[in-house]
Amino acid sequence: MDQAIIVSFVLSVMTASTPLLLAATGELVTEKSGVLNLGVEGMMLVGAIVGFATTVHTGSAWLGVLAALFAGMAMALIFAILTLTFLANQVATGLALTIFGTGLSALVGSSYVGTAVEALPKVLFGQDALVYLSLLAVFAVAWFLRRSHRGLVLRAVGDSHDAAHAIGYPVILIRYAATLFGGAMCGLAGAYMSLAYSTSWAENMTAGRGWIALALVVFATWRPVWLLVGAYLFGGIMYGSLAIQAAGAINLFGYPLVVPSQLVSALPYLATIAVLVVISRDRVKIRLNAPACLGRPFHAAG
Amino acid sequence: MIGQAGGDTAIGARVPLLSLSGIVKQFPGCLANDRVDLTVLPGEIHALLGENGAGKSTLVKIIYGVLKPDQGEIHWQGQPVIVQNPNHARRLGIGMVFQHFSLFEALTVVENIALGLADAADRKGLHGRIAEISKAYGLHLDPDKAVHDLSVGERQRIEIVRCLLQKPKLLIMDEPTSVLTPQEVERLFETLRRLAHEGCAILYISHKLEEIRALCERATIMRLGKVVAHCDPRKETAKHLAELMIGTELKAASHHARSEANGGPRLAVKDLSLKSEQQFGTDLKAISFAVKGGEILGIGGIAGNGQAELMAALSGEMLAARPDTIAIDDIAVGRMGPRERRGLGSCFVPEERNGHGAVRDMSLSENAFLSGNVRQVLSRNGLINAGKTAGFAGDVIKSFDVRTTGPAAEARSLSGGNLQKFIVGREVKQSPKVLVVSQPTWGVDAGAATAIHQALIDLADKGAAVIVISQDLDEIFSLADRIAVIAEGKLSQAIPIAEASIEQIGLLMGGTQGTPAGPVGANSGARHAAPA
Amino acid sequence: MLLRLEPRGQRSRLWTYASPVLALALTVVTSAIIFAVLGKDPLQSLHVFLVSPLISATGLPELFVKAAPLILIGVGLSLGFRANVWNIGAEGQYTLGAIFAGGLALRFPEAPGLVLIPAMMVLGVLGGMSWAAIPAYLRVRWNANEILTSLMLTYVAQLLLIYLVTGPWRDPEGYGFPQTALFSSNATPPILVEATRVHLGVLVAFLVAIVGWIVLTRSVIGFQLRVLGQAPRAARFAGFSQDKLIWLSLMAGGGLAGLAGMFEVAGPIGQLTPAISPGYGFTAIIVAFLGRLHPIGVIFGGLILALSYLGGEAAQIDLGMPNAVTGIFQGVLLFFLLACDVLILYRLRGPKPSLAGGA
């Protein structure tokens, strides 16, 4: 009996964590290059509806996933053009992307409410391929950043875009690539929500997961493997808070403890703030963790 | 005295490694290089000596391919060559370690070096090669350490190792010791001597006379874009080198004879030590001086020796450790901010007009309010008195002949000279008891410069204590009653202008006089070759 | 790139004011296209979306009611943004203001309105300020980025609200719905214009905008904020305390957002529920940008974005479209505004004649 419960628990947590992991991995790469894209929620929602709609019309969930990937990239492209070429404020643009994406997905999705599709086929241990893809992606990104020369250049661009430019690296181009990758991953995360996690569409169905993914990147101090830990931690908390809400109270060593599920849900955000404070207080230390050029626009001098 | 070092082999027997002849480079308003000749022999340690603005940086940028000369020829290993860009220079075998190098803080030593090598082939076995070179040349570096953990001296080693990896025949070092401790300087010298011994020539740019005498075999001395001398620094006295560097034809002191300043000091600084906030900044070390009312003290020195930090400490932008470190009219102000110091009668003109002394996008009125609020009482109950502020600004504009449409004009619309007149005027018009100005006439046309100088003299005549921090010795000699020199964060004794000799000043600027308390005149020639 | 951006060397005054107008025009055109793509008549849809809310009987007053919270929050944000302090958490500060004020209203429903309303206003401000104090403290003391901290706190605030309305503050006679009891009439701000919902908060919003304008342009503090944002070194030279100004910016933004929260729950909504804001805190950021970070501009920005809310509702009723159209309009407007703003500092030029390539 216990083993079945544990297995079911682990599988449920994996399902809850996968969209977080996918989106956060993409955003991590974007931020490592020095770009802060707050539009994750919007990109995920657009990915979700595009994926869903494509699946409905083509009958193939995989085509849906692919379409979602491109939809995410398209959204990221809007962001990239505004911030990298037009040098617009990254925070404002990211927010605009979220507001726009939320509205666009709701608009397009209005005619799909109530439709159901077949979920992505399960491949291994009752999980579909995207779950394994998310794990693969984390390790691939970790390898890319740590061990490949291109990854090194990306990190350099995020650390000091002026020095990277002086050496001769194409800063803007690299940032475009990183931003589009982030968008693609967010699109995939959205597709997971509408094609695997739940097999229907509802307005605003990501329910703030995009913001949690942003928090995750900070929580993991921009390191991919910690992203994995954080995603499963946050995913577990999200799943746990639902369970607590249902149960009403948790039994701690036999004493019923009434913990508001909202408090549990708030933990990821509070934890992120705590981590942020810890890494920020030392001006030297923050330089090591957060990409030093995060959010700063790049002007090629002269 | 002047000529090639006679020492070892006859000139004709050795083909010069690098030979520049007749190099000319003109910038708008400035002839940076005026028919410069330079010859560097293989394996030679050659100094390039001169003050700021002498043309050293420009010349070196031409050698490294960053700039192209307007006229003149470059011969490398006997062949004429045009250096297209730094990549080309590196392929020829020229390496350069810049004065202000930029590294990626969050990345390791290996990663930083790898980033500079575009070719994947160059990056093979990098880890091992770095370890090898650092061991071979005594440049200890842990390839896996992150840059932010390293001292400035260790960071410089990264730059040197990066150059050495490409097996240069000529290594150019631009003011390398300005950020090093004395021990690090010694280690650097050992490395350079070893390199030279192995046949790599060193072109060593510096203004530090003792170091040049300790390290270099030959020197080319530049002044105002021209080469004024070649010599063997080991055979020259520091005094003579200083003379050559600064030039003996300095304008005779043209300051006004002023009535003897009397009374106690209006500004007294005692034992001011401060750590710089900048990465390439200079820490202040036990600076002490006092200025009386009616007196102008000139503080000279080469850029980057602590002037910015001193200015910040005097204005209150950086606080001293103890309140009594700085005193205005005997009141301890060391821990007070700029507004309180203004209230007590002290005003300041920082080095940088744009973004520091004035805000470009704001009107002259608003800029007048920036520093004038306290002493001119330009606000009441938290609201700006627009009329009074505009009046004050208009006053400054009129008195200082600032060419502009009026107080409502934006600061950015003014020429450099006019904006500087406005800023200086803004401070002078507040009738301060103490005025500290840094680089008062930098980038300013002659007419404005004269007006500013007169304003400073007039202010002193009214009884204020004026401190002028400047890199322009002519300016100091025409204004100041006494002169002190700041070098490496230390301030020399202040001596009356009439008694100051050019050689003395040059030596002080070159950092050769050791402790500030050293008696004037007693040490020239008595110093040994140990680094400062 | 085909087009090049050439720096002008100075801010173009023309484009500072023309940019929002151009952005608005482009947004209207884009909206028309979107309507067409969805199979609706573009001109009719634009009419429903942008014009009909203004001409209906309750239209204009409703516009002001909707604009009030946007203006209140927008003014606070515009002051902070001028100083380069990025308060992205206004939504959370709004929520806390609503909670504080709502809590008072629920506790003392019988207190006389003349005492209760001002007290609720004070508590609303305090609630918002206390929530903004967290990112302020974390920034000043620990150098933590206020964008991320204030953003995280919006979610915590929302969760706190949900907890209160589903738990301790739930209306016992509410049939189990997550909401508090309705506030008493004493706790409801008076209506200023008969037969409309224009309440005291609307007047307060306009007064705040005027005060904000005076503070920004004529007060010493406003000057300090502006200098800090434009030239931090000059601010230091002048002796302005950066820490003090950061606190001030966040307190002002938070306090005004909290006040907006109070007026919304006490007025139009009348109780605390999980859905007390259709994203006012975030939309107010757009309002601030549209208004060129100027309190008077914020009034216009607030009215335009209020129109987008009303238009969305109208589109839902008259055209059968989801009121998500509001979000699209707002997002697209900000996109175009950010894009057009580039013309303030740069000129558009054709491709560079060969020579060395470069960014």
Mutation target to probe the B interface, by most B beta carbons within 10 A, among C237, C248, C292, C293 is C237
Q: Which residues of A touch B146 (CB under 8 A)?
A: 288
Q: Do C359 and A277 touch (CB under 8 A)?
A: no
Distance from CA of B106 to the nearest CA of A (A): 5
What DSSP assignment string belongs to B415-482?
-HHHHHHHHHHHHHTT--SEEEEESTTTT--HHHHHHHHHHHHHHHHTT-EEEEEES-HHHHHHH-SE
* Nearest CB to A104; choose among C142, C163, C328: C328
* Nearest CB to B115; choose among A156, A289, A291: A156
Q: A156 and A164 in contact (C-beta within 8 Å)?
A: yes
Q: B355 and B412 in contact (C-beta within 8 Å)?
A: no
Q: C97 and C104 in contact (C-beta within 8 Å)?
A: no
Q: Is the pLDDT reported for residue A294 higher than 80?
A: yes
d(CA A141, CA A151): 9
Binding partners of C (≥3 Cβ pairs within 8 A): A, B
Neighbours of C11 (CB within 10 A): 14
d(CA B469, CA B466): 10
- The one-letter amino acid code at A37 reads N
Nearest CA in chain B to C231: B355
Tokens of residue B22, six digits: 């007749």
- At residue B530, the pLDDT reads 34
For chain B, the structural domain boundaries read 1-93+168-249, 96-166, 265-509
List C-alpha distances in Å: B127 to B117, B119, B130.
13, 15, 5
| Mean per-residue pLDDT, A49-61 | 92
Please state the length of chain C: 359
* Nearest CB to B379; choose among C11, C220, C236: C220
Q: Is the CB of B314 inside 8 Å of chain C's CB atoms?
A: no
Burial degree of C243 (CB within 10 A; 0-12, 13-18, 19+): exposed
Please state the length of chain B: 532
Q: Is the pLDDT reported for residue C149 higher than 70?
A: yes
Helix or strand or coil: residue C94? Answer: helix
Please state the length of chain A: 302
Nearest to C163 by CA among C150, C178, C181: C178
* Nearest CB to A149; choose among B105, B106, B120: B120
H or E element, residue B274: strand B265-274
- At residue B281, the pLDDT reads 79
The overall average pLDDT reported for chain B is 85
Cα separation of the two ends of chain A: 70
pLDDT band at A144 (very low <50, low <70, confident <90, very high): very high
d(CA B81, CA A127): 66
Q: Is the pLDDT reported for residue B122 higher than 80?
A: no
Write down the ipTM of this complex.
0.85
Give me the domains of chain C, ranges plus CATH numbers.
17-345 (1.10.3470)
Nearest CA in chain B to A160: B104
Q: Is the CB of B105 inside 8 Å of chain A's CB atoms?
A: yes
H or E element, residue A14: helix A2-32
CA angle B378, B380, B385 (to 5 degrees): 45
Nearest CA in chain A to B279: A284
Binding partners of B (≥3 Cβ pairs within 8 A): A, C
Nearest to A42 by CA among A157, A176, A156, A213: A213
Burial degree of C204 (CB within 10 A; 0-12, 13-18, 19+): buried
Q: Do A276 and C145 touch (CB under 8 A)?
A: yes
B182: left (phi over 0), alpha (psi -120 to 50) or beta: alpha
pLDDT > 70: percent of chain C = 96
Angle formed by the axes of helices C280-290 and C325-345, to 10°?
30
Tokens of residue B90, six digits: 């590196």
Helix or strand or coil: residue B96? Answer: strand
d(CA B346, CA B431): 9
The overall average pLDDT reported for chain C is 89
Q: Which residues of C touch A245 (CB under 8 A)?
A: none
Q: Is the pLDDT reported for residue B526 higher than 50?
A: no
| Local structure of residue B11 (DSSP, 8 states) | G
Q: Is the CB of B103 inside 8 Å of chain A's CB atoms?
A: yes
Tokens of residue A67, six digits: 């379409």
- The one-letter amino acid code at C213 reads W
- At residue C187, the pLDDT reads 85
Q: B272 and B283 in contact (C-beta within 8 Å)?
A: no
- At residue C212, the pLDDT reads 96
List beta partners, residue B268: B290, B327
Q: Do B348 and C237 touch (CB under 8 A)?
A: yes
User: B257 vs A148, which has greater pLDDT?
Assistant: A148
How many CB pairs below 8 A link A and C? 154
Angle formed by the axes of helices A2-32 and A171-192, to 10°?
160
Could you list the beta-strand ranges (E) of chain C.
Answer: 4-7, 346-349
pLDDT band at B248 (very low <50, low <70, confident <90, very high): low
Q: Which residues from C are below 8 Å from B when comparing CB atoms?
A: 10-11, 218-221, 223, 226-227, 230-231, 233-234, 236-239, 241
Q: Is the CB of A286 inside 8 Å of chain B's CB atoms?
A: no
With helix as H, strand as E and coil as C, how does A166-188 read?
HHCCCHHHHHHHHHHHHHHHHHH
d(CA C231, CA C237): 10
| Local structure of residue C178 (DSSP, 8 states) | S
CA angle B12, B16, B20 (to 5 degrees): 120
C281-336 pLDDT, tens digit each: 999 998 998 899 999 999 999 999 999 999 888 888 888 877 788 888 888 998 99
Tokens of residue C342, six digits: 């580039």
Q: Do B315 and C218 touch (CB under 8 A)?
A: no
Cα separation of the two ends of chain C: 8
Q: Which fold has domain A2-289?
A: ABC transporter involved in vitamin B12 uptake, BtuC (1.10.3470)
- The one-letter amino acid code at B36 reads V
Q: B288 and B272 in contact (C-beta within 8 Å)?
A: yes
In sequence order, the 6+-apart residues with CB closer than 8 A to the CB of C34 are A107, C325, C328
What sign does the CA torsion over B470, B472, B473, B475 have? Answer: negative
How many CB pairs below 8 A link B and C? 61
Q: Is the CB of B350 inside 8 Å of chain C's CB atoms?
A: yes
Q: Is the pLDDT reported for residue C106 higher than 80?
A: yes
| Mean per-residue pLDDT, B208-224 | 89
Distance from CA of B422 to the nearest CA of A (A): 29
Q: Is the pLDDT reported for residue C342 higher than 90?
A: no
- At residue A234, the pLDDT reads 87
CA–chain centroid gap for C207, Å, is 16
Provide the b/e sequence for A180-215 (b: ≥16 CB within 10 Å). Answer: bbbbbbbbbbbbbbbbbbebebbbebbebbbbbbbb
Cα separation of the two ends of chain B: 26
| Mean per-residue pLDDT, B13-34 | 86
d(CA B140, CA B1): 40
What are φ and ψ of residue B22, in 5° steps? 65, 35
pLDDT band at B257 (very low <50, low <70, confident <90, very high): low
| Mean per-residue pLDDT, B219-242 | 88
d(CA A94, CA A34): 14
| Mean per-residue pLDDT, A93-106 | 91
Tokens 């050019």 sit on residue: B502
Q: Do A92 and C358 touch (CB under 8 A)?
A: no
The model's pTM? 0.83
Burial degree of B220 (CB within 10 A; 0-12, 13-18, 19+): buried
Q: Do A160 and B105 touch (CB under 8 A)?
A: yes
Helix or strand or coil: residue B157? Answer: helix
Distance from CA of C253 to the nearest CA of B (A): 20
Of the candidate CATH numbers 3.40.50.300, 3.40.30.10, 3.10.180.10, 1.10.10.10, the domain formed by B1-93+168-249 belongs to 3.40.50.300
| Pairing assessment for the beta strands B218-223 and B226-231 based on DSSP bridges | antiparallel
Q: Which residues of C touch B360 (CB under 8 A)?
A: 230-231
Neighbours of A234 (CB within 10 A): 27
Q: Is the pLDDT reported for residue B516 higher than 50?
A: no
Q: Is the pLDDT reported for residue C129 higher than 90?
A: yes
Angle formed by the axes of helices A209-219 and A171-192, to 10°?
130
* Nearest CB to C239; choose among B339, B350, B384: B339
Radius of gyration for chain C, computed over Cα atoms and rounded to the nearest angstrom:
22
Distance from CA of B104 to the nearest CA of A (A): 6
Q: Which residues of B touch A156 (CB under 8 A)?
A: 104, 107, 111, 115
Q: Which fold has domain B265-509?
A: Rossmann fold (3.40.50)
Lowest mean pLDDT: which of B158-167, C83-92, C190-199, C290-299? C190-199
Tokens of residue B286, six digits: 């036990």
Q: Is the CB of B121 inside 8 Å of chain A's CB atoms?
A: no
Q: Is the pLDDT reported for residue B518 higher than 90?
A: no
pLDDT band at C357 (very low <50, low <70, confident <90, very high): very low
Provide the b/e sequence for C303-339 (b: ≥16 CB within 10 Å). Answer: bbbbbbbbbbbbbbeebebbbbbbbbbbbbbbbbbbb
Q: B112 and B100 in contact (C-beta within 8 Å)?
A: no
In sequence order, the 6+-apart residues with CB closer than 8 A to the CB of B137 are B160, B164, B191, B194, B195
